[in-house]
Amino acid sequence: MDSKTKAKKKFFKGNAFLYIGFVITAAMLAMIIVSFFWTPFNPTEMDTAAKMAGPSSVHLLGTDNLGRDILSRIMKGAGTTFLISVCVVAIGCVCGIIIGSLCGYFGGIADAILTRVCDTITAFPAILLALVIISITGGGTMNVIIVLGILFIPSFARIVRSEYARCRNLNYIESARLMGASSFRIIFVHILPNTMAVLLPAITIGFNNAVLSEASMSFLGIGVKPPAASLGSMLRDAQTYLRNTPWYAISTGIAIALLILGFSLLSEGLQQAARREE
Amino acid sequence: MSELLKITDLLIHFHNAAPERNAVDGISFSIDEGDILGLVGESGSGKTVTAMSLCGLLDVKQADLSGSILFQGKELVNCSEEFLLSLQGDEISVVFQEPMSSMNPVMKIGLQVEEALRVHTKLSKEERKARALQALADAELPNPEEVYNKYPHELSGGMLQRAMIAAAIINRPMLLLADEPTTALDVTIQAQIIKLLKKLNQENNMAILFISHNLHVVRQLCERVAVMQRGKLVEEGDVNEIFRNPQQEYTKNLIAAIPTREKRLS
Amino acid sequence: MKYVIKKVIALIITLLVVSFLAFLAFQIIPGDPTTRILGSEATPEMVAALREQMGLNRPMLLRYLDWLGNFVRGNYGTSFTYKVSVNSLLADKLPVTILLTALSFIITGVVAIPLGILAGSVKSKIIDKIVIIIDQIVMSVPAFFIGMIVCFLFGILFRLFVPGQFVPLETDWRACIAYLVFPAVSIAIPRIAMTVKMLRSSILNQLGQDYVRTARSRGNNRRQYLFKHVIRNAMIPVITFLAISLAEIMTGTIIIEQVFTIPGIGRLLISSIGTRDFPVVQAIVVLIAAWIVIVNFAADIINQVVDPRMRNR
C-alpha cells in the first residue's frame, strides 16, 4: 500500500460520519452524472398504457400520473436540484470569501458594519427572506439561484472573517508582511489555504442548506417552473397523487433526504477530522 | 497515634498508555491520624493519580488498579461503589487546584459548600445553612452570609479556594486531599491558604495529604514528605532532613529548582 | 437591569430597521401601484388624484412613518386581490398559525429534553453511536416530506385524520387541535433531532468539566451529579436554542400549511406571492420578522436569567 492510500485510510478511520457521508454523496453524484447522458426512460415521455403503475421490473420506481418513469425523473430532478445548489453555494462561497477576508484582514468600521449586517441577516431563516425577495422579483430558476446565493453570503463571510481576524496577527503572517508581500498576496496566498479546515465543512453544510432551500421553494411552487423539474417541484406534483401513487412521493422524498444526509454527514465528519488534527 | 491510611504496592496503569509505563508504579506509604504528608514531584510523576485513586475518582474503566489502600483498616481497592460514595465528602475530602473551574458556575457558593451535608446527612435546610456559614467562617472568609449567596465568578481565586476548603471540611473529614491547592494563586494568598490548612489540621485533628510540585510550599506545611518520580516513590522522610541532606539526585534537583530568595526566606 | 434596558433599546432599533427595510423592499416593486388599483385604462387625472390620496407624492420617510403608524395600530392596508382589509384576512388565519407554532414548540420541548438528557447520559458506546446516527438521519429529512409521510401513514393508511379537511377553531376547537397535532409533529421531528444533538453534546462537554469531579468528590452518585450539576449547566445553550426555535418553527409552518392545507398565514402568504398581492405579503412578512426579532430578544433575556455569569454585565 502506498503512503497516500495509507494517509487516506487514516483520515477515514474511526470517522464513520465521513465515510458514510462520502459513500452516500458519491453514489448520488454518480447517479446525477449518469443522468446527463442516460436515463432508463425519457423522463418526459408519457406511457399512456402504464399510468400510475407501481414499481415493477420495467419501471423500477413505478410511473407517475402521466405514465412517466419516476426513476428517470428523479435522476433528472436530482441533477437540477444539485446544479442549482452548486450555483448557490458558488455565489455564496466566493462572495463570502471576498467579503469575509477583506473585513477580517483590514477590520475597521466597514468590518463592524458588515459584521452587524451579516449577523442580522443570519438571524432570519433564509427561506423567509427568499420568499420576500421572490415575491417582488418573481420566481423561476435564475431568480432562485441569485436570491439564495446572495442569502448564503453572510454565513460564509462570517466564518471566513473570524478565521482572518484570528490569522491576521499570527507570526508567519507578520513575517510575510515584513518580507514585503502585498496585502492581496497575504490574503489569498498565505491565509486562504489555512481557512480550509473551517471552510470545507461550511461548504458541505452550505450544500445541505441549498438543497433544502431549493426543494422547499420548488415545493411551494415558486422555484423551478415546469417543464423543468427539480426534486422539490416533483414532490409538489407527487403530493396531489399521494393517495394513488405514494411511491412517487416516497422515492422523491428519500432522494432529497439522501442528498441532504450525505452532505450533513460529510460536514460532520470533516469537522471531526479537523478537530482531530489539532 | 493510630494509622489512618496505609498504601501498599499501589500500581496504576492507564489502558491507553504503553504497556511498560505505569502511572503509579508500586508505591507504599502511610498517614497517621492528624498527620500532614507532603507528596512532591514534577508534573506527570503520578502524584495526582495517586490522590485520585485514594478518593475513588479514578475512572476504573480507563485504568487498572492493584495493590492495597487501607483506610481506617478497610480496603478501598476494588471495594463497592456504595462504600466509596459513603466515604467521599464524608471521611475523605478533596481540594483541587483550580478553584474557578472546580466550582459549578451556576450554583450559589453556599449550596456547594453544604453539598456534602446534603448528600451524607439528613439535616434540614436551615441546619445545613448554619453549618455552611460556620464552615465559611472557619475558612476565614469575611462576611460568610454574603459569600453564601454569591456565584463563583463573583469571588477572587483566593476567596474561592477558601470556599472550596470550607466545602471540604464541612463534614469534619478524617483525611483531606489537597491537590496543588495553592498553585493557581498569588504568592501572598498561597501563604494564607497554607496557614489556614495548618490551623484546620491542628483544630480538627484532620490528616492532610498535600500534593505540590513546589518543595518550598511543602516545607512550610508538612512534617513529612514523600518524593515521587515517574510513578515511583524515590525518597521519604522528615521534611527538614530531606532538605538538609537529599539522598537522590532528583530530590536535589527539585530543591535546586526553588528560587534562591525563597530558599533564604525559609 | 441596565442590561435589559440596553437590550430593549437595541430591540426597538432592530424592529425599526427591519420594518423600514420591509417597507423599502415593497417600494421598489416594478410598476406603479396606482395601475394595479385603477387598471391600465385610467386617465392621468385619475392616477394623479389617487397618488395624492395615497400620499405617494410625499417624501419616503414620511410615508414610512405613516405606514408604521398604521401598522402599529393594526391597520395593514387593503388586499389587491380580495379588496378587503388585510386585517380582516389575517383575523381568522393568525390564530391557526399561532396555535400550530405553539403546539409544535411544546412537542419539541417535551420530547427533545428528556431524549437529549438520555442520549447525553447513556453509558454504552454502541447505543450512543446508534443514537447519533439515527439523529443525523432524522435531521436530514425535510419537514414537508415528513408531513407527507404523516399524511400518507396516519391520514390515508390508518385514517386517523382526513388530510385536507381542516376543522376551523370556532367550529370545534378539540377537532381543530386534533388535526393540527399531525402537522405540529411533522415540524417538530427535525427540530427534536437538532435539539437532542445539541443537548447531548452539551452534556458530554459539561461532564468533562472540573466541577463534575468536585461534585463526585463530595459523594454524589451519577444520578445526583447529573441532575444537580451537569444538566443545569448543559441546558443553558439549549434553552437559548429552543427559544430561537420558536422563530424557525413559525417559518416552518409556512411550508407545512401547504402540505396539510391549513388556512393559516403561511398559506395566505404563498397564495399572495402567487397573485402578487403586496399589502398582504408585506403585512405577513413584517409580522413574522417582528416575531423573529422579539424571539431573539427573549432568548437573550432568558439566557441572562439562567446563567448567573451573564448577569453582572
pLDDT, tens only, C146-186: 999 999 999 888 888 888 888 888 888 889 999 999 999 99
Q: With pLDDT > 70 as the criterion, what percentage of chain C qualifies?
A: 93
CATH number of the domain residue A124 falls in = 1.10.3720.10
pLDDT for C98? 94
* Pairs from C18-23 (Cβ < 8 Å, separation ≥ 24): C18/A120, C18/C286, C18/C289, C18/C290, C18/C293, C19/C68, C19/C71, C19/C286, C19/C289, C19/C290, C20/C64, C22/A132, C22/C282, C22/C285, C22/C286, C22/C289, C23/C64, C23/C67, C23/C68, C23/C282
CB atoms within 10 A of CB B83: 14
Is position B205 within any domain?
no
Most confident of B11-20, B54-63, B151-160, B245-254: B151-160
Residue span of the structural domain in which B43 resides: 1-87+217-266
CATH code, B27: 3.40.50.300
User: Cβ contact (<8 Å) for C254 and A215?
Assistant: no
One DSSP character per residue, A156-218 reads HHHHHHHHHHHHTTSHHHHHHHHTT--HHHIIIIIIGGGGHHHHHHHHHHHHHHHHHHHHHHH
Phi, psi of C130 (to 5 degrees): -60, -45
Question: Is C223 at the interface with chain B, CB within 8 A?
Answer: no
Mutate to test the interface with C, among B102, B113, B114 (most CBs of C within 10 A): B102
Say what angle helices C231-259 and A126-137 make with each other, to 10 degrees: 30
Q: How far is C230 from chain B (nearest CA, A)?
A: 9
Nearest chain A residue to C155 by CA: give it: A243
CB contact under 8 A, C142 and A220: no
Rounded CA separation A266/B261 (Å): 58
> What pLDDT score was predicted for residue A1?
44
Closest alpha carbon within chain C to B56: C217
| Length reported for chain B | 266
The position carrying cell 508538612 is B222
Where in the sequence is the domain holding A99, given as residue range(s)? 15-34+70-277
Q: How far is A163 from chain C (nearest CA, A)?
A: 23
Contact state of A264 with C139 under an 8 Å Cβ cutoff:
yes
Chains touching chain B, criterion 3+ CB pairs below 8 Å:
C
- Specify the pLDDT at position B246: 82
At residue B164, the pLDDT reads 92
In a domain, A50, yes or no: no
Residues of C in Cβ contact (< 8 Å) with A135: 272-273, 276, 278, 281
Whether the Cβ atoms of residue A216 and residue A81 lie closer than 8 Å to each other = no
* CB crowding C59-98: b at 16 or more within 10 Å, else e: eeeebbeebbeebeeeebbbbbeeeebbeebbeebebbbe
* Per-residue model confidence (pLDDT) at position B56: 85
Q: Is B143 on the interface with C (CB under 8 A)?
A: no
Cα-based distances in Å from C47 to A57, C28, C53, C82, C145: 65, 18, 10, 21, 47
pLDDT for residue B266 is more than 60: no
Looking at the complex, report in whole angstroms how far the Cα of residue C232 sits from the nearest Cα belonging to chain B. 8
Asked whether the beta carbons of residue A132 and residue C22 sit closer than 8 angstroms, the reply is: yes
CB contact under 8 A, C145 and A132: no
* Residue A41 CB coordination number (10 Å): 17
Closest CA to A100 of A190, A187, A170: A187
Count up the domains in chain A and report the number.
Answer: 1
A126-137 helix and A141-167 helix, angle to the nearest 10 degrees? 140
C17-41, pLDDT tens digit by residue?
A: 888 888 888 777 666 666 666 666 6
Other C-beta atoms lying within 10 Å of the C-beta of residue C204: 15
What is the predicted pLDDT for the residue at B1? 59
Inside any domain, residue A109? yes
What is the DSSP secondary-structure string of C99-111? HHHHHHHHHHHHH
Contact list in B for residue C211 (CB cut-off 8 A) is 101-105
Residues A112 and A260 sit within 8 Å (Cβ to Cβ):
no
Of all residues in chain A, what percent carry a pLDDT higher than 90? 31
Confidence bin at A5 (pLDDT 50/70/90):
low
At residue B214 the predicted structure's pLDDT band, cuts being 50, 70 and 90, is confident
Does the structure show a pLDDT above 60 at A106? yes
Chain A residues close to C151, C-beta within 8 Å? 242
Q: Retrieve residue A41's grid coordinates.
A: 426512460
Nearest-CA distance C237 → chain B (Å): 13
Q: Is residue B143 part of a domain?
A: no
CB contact under 8 Å between A127 and C251, yes or no, is yes
Residues in A closer than 8 angstroms to C129, CB to CB, are: 16
Q: Closest by alpha carbon to B57, among C209, C123, C226, C217?
A: C217
Decide if A128 and C285 are in contact by the 8 Å CB cutoff.
yes
Mean pLDDT score, B79-93: 89
Is residue B19 in some structural domain?
A: yes
Q: pTM of the prediction?
A: 0.88
Element (H, E) at C195: helix C173-207
The top-scoring range by mean pLDDT among A121-125, A143-147, C107-111 is C107-111
* C125 touches B at CB < 8 Å: no
CA-CA distances (angstroms) from residue C35 to B100, C43, C49, C51? 69, 10, 12, 10
Within an 8 Å CB–CB cutoff, is residue C208 touching chain B?
no
B225 falls within a domain: yes
**Would you mind telling me the total number of residues written for chain C in this entry?**
313
Please, are residues C54 and C66 in contact by the beta-carbon 8 Å criterion?
no
If you write DSSP's letter for every residue of A74-90 in order, what string do you get? HHHHHHHHHHHHHHHHH
Q: Which of C141, C255, C281 sits opposite A220 (nearest CB)?
A: C255
Average pLDDT in the B197-212 region? Answer: 90
Q: How much is the CA Rg of chain C, to the nearest whole Å? A: 24
Mean pLDDT per 10-residue segment, chain C (313 residues):
83 87 77 64 74 71 85 82 86 92 96 94 87 91 93 89 84 89 95 94 92 92 91 91 90 92 92 85 89 89 85 60
Is residue B161, in this structure, part of any structural domain at all?
no
Contacts of C163 in chain A (CB under 8 A): 242
Nearest-CB residue to A136 (from C29, C145, C254): C29
Identify the closest residue of chain C to A116 by CA–CA distance: C14
**Cα-based angle C160, C182, C286 (whole degrees, multiple of 5):** 150
pLDDT-derived band at B116 (thresholds 50, 70, 90) equals very high
Out of 1.10.3720.10, 3.40.390.10, 3.10.105.10, 1.10.10.350, select the CATH number for domain C89-275.
1.10.3720.10
Give the bridge partners for B3, in sequence order. Answer: B32
How many domains does chain B fold into?
1
Q: Does residue B139 carry a pLDDT above 50? A: yes
**Counting Cβ atoms within 10 Å, is residue A146 exposed (0-12), middle (13-18) or buried (19+)?**
middle
Do chains A and B meet with 3 or more Cβ pairs nearer than 8 Å?
Answer: no
According to DSSP, the residues that pair with B176 across neighbouring strands are B93, B208
The answer on pLDDT for A245 being more than 70 is: yes
Across the interface, whether the CB atoms of C219 and B116 are under 8 A apart is answered yes
- Taking CB atoms and an 8 Å cutoff, what residues of chain C touch A215? 142
Which chain C residue has its CA at the smallest distance from A215's CA? Answer: C142
Q: Is residue A42 part of a domain?
A: no
